[in-house]
Amino acid sequence: MRITVKGKNVDVAPDVRDEAIAKLSRVRRYFDRFIDMEVVFSEEVNPRIEDKVRCEVVLHAKGKYLRASASGPDHVTAIDRAEAKLTRQVRKLKTKLVQKPRLAAAAAHPGNREPAAVGAFEDDDL
């Protein structure tokens, strides 16, 4: 997976770049079929906004794009919050991709029904 870290009107320090790559590459534990990831940092200039650093992550998989953005008072907090959001989205995508074939296989074989409860009688049996 190719990871690109950029800054929008901000210079990204090498230690922040390494931290972003290390933390955001952990989403591969849940699903490893990603093509590339783009991380963009920006800073708010409004003095009323407490969380000045913004981290936006776009993850590209085959036919899918996942996007997560988060803000924090510093770069590390913004990365952590974006990683939490992205992890949730990746787990949801993986569950959807795994469950769809299983449901289709269960529907294709109607003979695999649950057995009747023991001791249950129909009207004809009495």
- Output DSSP code: residue 56: E
- Output DSSP code: residue 62: T
How many independent structural domains does the chain possess?
1
Q: Which residue range forms the structural domain that includes residue 63?
A: 2-109
Count Cβ atoms below 10 Å from residue 45 Cβ, excluding itself.
8
Global pTM reads 0.77
* Encoded tokens for 81: 């919050």
What's 49's domain CATH number? 3.30.160.100
Query: With 80 as the cut, is the pLDDT of residue 114 above it?
Result: no
For the chain, percent of residues with pLDDT exceeding 90: 56
47 belongs to a structural domain: yes
Per-residue model confidence as pLDDT tens digits over 81-103: 999 999 999 999 988 888 877 77
Burial zone of 94 (CB within 10 Å; 0-12 exposed, 13-18 middle, 19+ buried): middle
| Residue 1 to residue 29: CA distance in whole angstroms | 12
Between 79 and 119, residue with greater pLDDT? 79
